Structure 1
Amino acid sequence: MYLFDSVSSRHLDVSFARSGLPEALLMMRAAHSVWSYVSMLDKTGHVWCISGPGNNGGDAYGVATLALMTGRSVSLYQEGSLSKTAKVVANFARKVGVKIFKNLPSLDEMTDQDIIIDGLLGTGLNRPPSGAYSVIIEWINLAKNNGTKIVSIDIPSGLDASSGTAPGDAIAADMTIMCLSAKQGCYTGLGPDLCGDLYFSDLGCLNPEEHVKPNSILITSENIDKLKRTKSGHKGTHGTLLVLGGWSTMEGAGCLAGIAGLKAGAGKVYICGPEFPDKPMELISVDRDIDCFRQALSRSNAVVAGPGLGNNGGAFLKLAWESNVPLVMDADGLNWLAREKPPSRKGGWVGTPHPGEAKTLLGRHVDNRFEAISELQTIYGGEWVLKGAGTLVGHDPIYINPFANSILGTAGSGDVLAGIIGGLLAQGYKYPSHAGVWLHSRAAELLLAAGNASIIASDLIEPIGRALLEIMED
């Protein structure tokens, strides 16, 4: 699925309007889509529509009209001035009997069977809501705390459609229906927390990417290249991965990365680091000696450097960085990169920071995840995987992982991801970061489906193989 920021979404609105499709018709299509989803809710109480300025306000009038025409009890509260097109829909709503109120109802008037339709602020938000808008957002969130369902049109009011940040107060919706264009801010940052259940309706306007260039792309199993393996393949043809990590007291980090690389399909995995008796027998040990590491590097098709490495592996990291072997830099490898700032790497490589590591690499915190990943690429080169809810992969174009669940928030989860990407790199897979992020998340989804509310990182290893089946060529 193609995703758009606030500017591109507006350009798309204009593009379809110029094609001869009346804007008021699009507005009513949006209202119909929203109402069709609202009708699925097991709520039979009053429908409170909140209309703000711009087209989102017109959508709210359309929803109020459809709700009234289906026999529901409806009230509408208007704040701000409507757009020219929205006024057309609003006039029709008044004619069919939608009641317009100037004051918000008391929360005491509302029940847990009621529904609030949020059409207050749309994709044009570029500053913190203030004044009456801030008051309304607070009122809606209080109503939600009392059990009222909140449904947002296009995007929860207060959420930035471009960045997934909330510059001020924002509505925490139970359901969000994106209309005409899928908004990238709904999938990353605060988007997954604020949107609730997320749906998309194209309003009958197909192939938006042919009208306006998308800003990003959603990662799905359909747009990941299939992993190809021949029937005659063997460990020698499936690639060799070298893991540099698991030093000091962090032996498990290196082992998790190594086993994940094997589970992702690498034929062999060398590991330079862990010195303890319970090291998995599938991993081939490399002495923590620079010459031994150099020899292993020469026999490897990819390297994962940094999981649990500590601060004493600088010479090894420098050797890996200066080689032409495809490289995944993770954890302490990224700390070394931020500290040493070596010359640009000639060979292909991937960086896999979490937000804290990104802050270290950039020297400051960047709320806008899209700006952060772009800056990382500009400063250091390479390809980047910015972890977190709605992981970003890129740059140009940026891909967004739709899976956002705190089940992956456990020590060692990132080591598993680095190992998966490394295992795919070792096999010569064309887009290892995109597929690696998807496989990591899909493994977590399979664990959730099996009834696991929480996991430890090693739980992710087994379902990697099952997830891999879904992207392997038949």
Structure 2
Amino acid sequence: MSLSARDKSDAGPPFREALFEYDGGRNSAWFDRRQEKEESGSMEYLLTAAEMAAADRTTSEKIGIPSIVLMERAALAVAKAVQEDFPDASDTEILVIAGKGNNGADALAAGRILLDAGYGVTFYSPDDGRDQKAALSGESPENFRKESVKESVKESVKESSLDIQRGILEAYGCRVFFGLPRNEHPNVVIDGIFGTGLSRAVSGKAEEAIRMVNCLRERGARIYSVDIPSGVSATTGERLGAAVQADVTVTFSFYKRGHFLFPGSDLCGRLIREEIGITKRAFAETGVPEVFTYRKEAPMSLLPKRRADGNKGTFGKILVIAGSRGVSGACTMSAQAALRMGAGMVRVFTHEDNRVILQETIPEAMCSTYSSLRKELSGNAGRERTSSGNAFADLDLSVEQELLACLSWADAAVIGPGLGRSEGCRQLLAFVLKHADALPRGLVIDADAIRLLAEGEGLYGELLSAGSRIPVILTPHPAECAALFHKTVSEVLANRFAWLPEFADRFHCTIAGKDARTLVASFGHTERYLNTSGNDGLATAGSGDVLTGIAAACLGLGMEGFAAATAAVYIHGAAADALAKERSRRSIMATDLIRKLGEM
């Protein structure tokens, strides 16, 4: 991610120069809460393929738990999942399709355990393993066959565990057939073709095997994938050519990012995680994984404990700078969400036309209005300049005075929902950023304010200045991210795990990149949060306005930026999940989310 030439000049000092001055110990409470969540089990790490391989290796080589022990535990977990769904062994035929890697060995071991339990099990391996070894090593099948490929590459694809499992089956008198089954009609297929090590598009016999597994599913077989569906990237969730559509995926010890990123999330089917002996002790040498999520958290437990002796001033005063002439819905929903989240007081700063609607819809909220943002000026005479020297149209003096009074009253604020993108709105945003000190608990920037930020010369510098003084949260969707980064949406989606943290570091802020899996990165934090709550019911008008109100309420409670953003996106998604239990996801409206906040 890179900013255009005009923006680099006001991007402020380098990240490392300002770190000590900015942090000031503000994150210590967050780190304490993170440790509590780790210990309670509600916080889950999401590993890349490389991080999982390192944890597996450390467990075997440093801690000393043999790989074959880990493998047997993994196989028991897969067998358990099958047995729970198909308890009648005499009436269940199982087909095991095992690749050349450790994943294939897990599948063979699971089949052998089920064989011992009385199930009918047939074992197949797609080919002699050359194509699969190539995919695991990153080489093309053609290059892998050449003698010029280093022996160390071939040796990196472990075969010992697979050989052990084949040897056990031979002792049982069982045969592993090479090739693809032609006349099998199984009830169950155990997919062990590829595991988390896959790094390139599948081809050859392995691709044929994946397509055959999907055909068997269409004929009624239930597919159980070992660790991750074959053909899915464990790191990105991408479909690497052909991919298995699993009904159940049994993964081990830690979830992988690809289990939750799309399309991998859909391809996994029902996801089961089982402990096999790889624990957080395996992170001692490499450090904890970068990405985490909340999975079993009671939503409101992420918030500070509510004081029994508190008053309306204790729980945060929130200013919502939103709405415009004829556009009242966004500011209404943002304010309602903040109140439902427990904010003590909410004031809306909006166009005069919205006053009656607000007073009738949310009598609990106070209202400050304007009729015109800008002075009536001719030409450019009398224009003020920001600290970076860029000209903006003047705000009307009465607007400045009223807005400054509102900012001084508030603990935290929202700016952007339904605001508009006029020159006056741009000056309004500049004014808020310049007077950020008036908001001791922080600012949420969303929607039109993000677009104005991306378009406005000098505003990146004001953002950095504000972020260096108070917690600032941005909540852009992919198109708004593209505008901020001066990139395309497809580029943003492909690089967001790198670009969002870079943006947060550069401008001393927290950024929640909204998507089906929202990613949160924050200045001063090495970890990233990937939200796994929520569903497609959130893809509805006003949903983002509700999120801004939730985030502002979290800031108003005194939470630091990263903690507030992660809690907000989790709670927002959890509300949608709760609603999905009551009704069709397609019928969910933003106002339903607000109602559900009051029931959680």
Please report the TM-score for the alignment, with normalisation by the length of structure 1. Answer: 0.91
Within a 5 Å distance, the mapping from 1:34-433 to structure 2 comes to 34-42=78-86, 44-79=91-126, 80=129, 83-106=159-182, 109-110=184-185, 114-208=187-281, 210-211=283-284, 212=286, 213-220=288-295, 221=297, 225-273=302-350, 275-276=353-354, 277-279=356-358, 280=361, 281-288=363-370, 289=373, 290-291=399-400, 292-312=402-422, 313-322=425-434, 323-324=436-437, 325=439, 326-340=442-456, 342-343=460-461, 344=464, 345=466, 346=468, 347-362=470-485, 363-364=487-488, 365=491, 366-395=493-522, 396-430=526-560, 431-433=563-565
Call closer, same or farther: CA 1:238–1:450 in 2, change over 3 Å: same
Whole-Å separation in 2 of the counterparts to 1:232 and 1:203? 47
Letter in 1 for 2:52: S
More deviation, 257-266/360-369: 360-369
Structure 1 residue 37: Cα displacement = 1.2
Residue aligning to 1:470:
none
Call closer, same or farther: CA 1:78–1:427 in 2, change over 3 Å: same
Whole-Å separation in 1 of the counterparts to 2:215 and 2:455? 46
Structure 1 residue 65: Cα displacement = 0.8
Aligned structure 1 segments of 4 or more residues deviating by more than 4 angstroms: 222-226
More deviation, 423-432/131-140: 131-140
Q: Quick check: 2:303–2:567 contact (8 Å CA) kept in 1?
A: no
Letter in 2 for 1:305: I
Q: Between the two proteins, what is the percent identity of the paired residues? A: 32
More deviation, 432-441/37-46: 37-46
Q: Quick check: 2:521–2:529 contact (8 Å CA) kept in 1?
A: yes
Call closer, same or farther: CA 1:141–1:378 in 2, change over 3 Å: farther
Call closer, same or farther: CA 1:293–1:171 in 2, change over 3 Å: farther
Structure 1 residue 30: Cα displacement = 0.5
Tell me the SS of whatever aligns to 1:287: strand
Whole-Å separation in 2 of the counterparts to 1:260 and 1:133? 50
Structure 1 residue 203: Cα displacement = 0.5
In structure 1, stretches of 5+ residues that fail to align are: 468-474
Count of matched residue pairs: 464
Call closer, same or farther: CA 1:320–1:11 in 2, change over 3 Å: same
Residue aligning to 1:23:
67
Call closer, same or farther: CA 1:77–1:149 in 2, change over 3 Å: same
Please report the TM-score for the alignment, with normalisation by the length of structure 2. Answer: 0.73
Tell me the SS of whatever aligns to 2:110: helix
Structure 1 residue 21: Cα displacement = 1.7
Structure 1 residue 109: Cα displacement = 4.2
Q: Quick check: 2:534–2:576 contact (8 Å CA) kept in 1?
A: no
Structure 1 residue 257: Cα displacement = 0.9
Is 1:448 the counterpart of 2:524 in the alignment? Answer: no
Tell me the SS of whatever aligns to 1:198: strand
Structure 1 residue 192: Cα displacement = 2.1
Deviations 1:271-321 (A, max 9, x none): 122533332222322213432222211211111111122212111111222
Q: Quick check: 2:512–2:518 contact (8 Å CA) kept in 1?
A: yes
Whole-Å separation in 1 of the counterparts to 2:219 and 2:484? 43
Deviations 1:133-191 (A, max 9, x none): 33222222333333322211111222222223334332222111111332122123333
Letter in 2 for 1:360: A
Q: Quick check: 1:141–1:171 contact (8 Å CA) kept in 2?
A: yes
Whole-Å separation in 1 of the counterparts to 2:107 and 2:569? 37
Whole-Å separation in 1 of the counterparts to 2:326 and 2:232? 42
Whole-Å separation in 2 of the counterparts to 1:433 and 1:78? 47
Whole-Å separation in 2 of the counterparts to 1:5 and 1:140? 25
Greater fraction helix: 2
Deviations 1:323-371 (A, max 9, x none): 2321111111221222225211322211112223223322132325423
Say which one has the larger Rg.
Answer: 2
Whole-Å separation in 1 of the counterparts to 2:204 and 2:479? 34
Q: Quick check: 2:70–2:277 contact (8 Å CA) kept in 1?
A: no
Residue aligning to 1:471:
none
Deviations 1:207-228 (A, max 9, x none): 3464442222222427964422
More deviation, 261-270/34-43: 34-43
Residue aligning to 1:459:
592
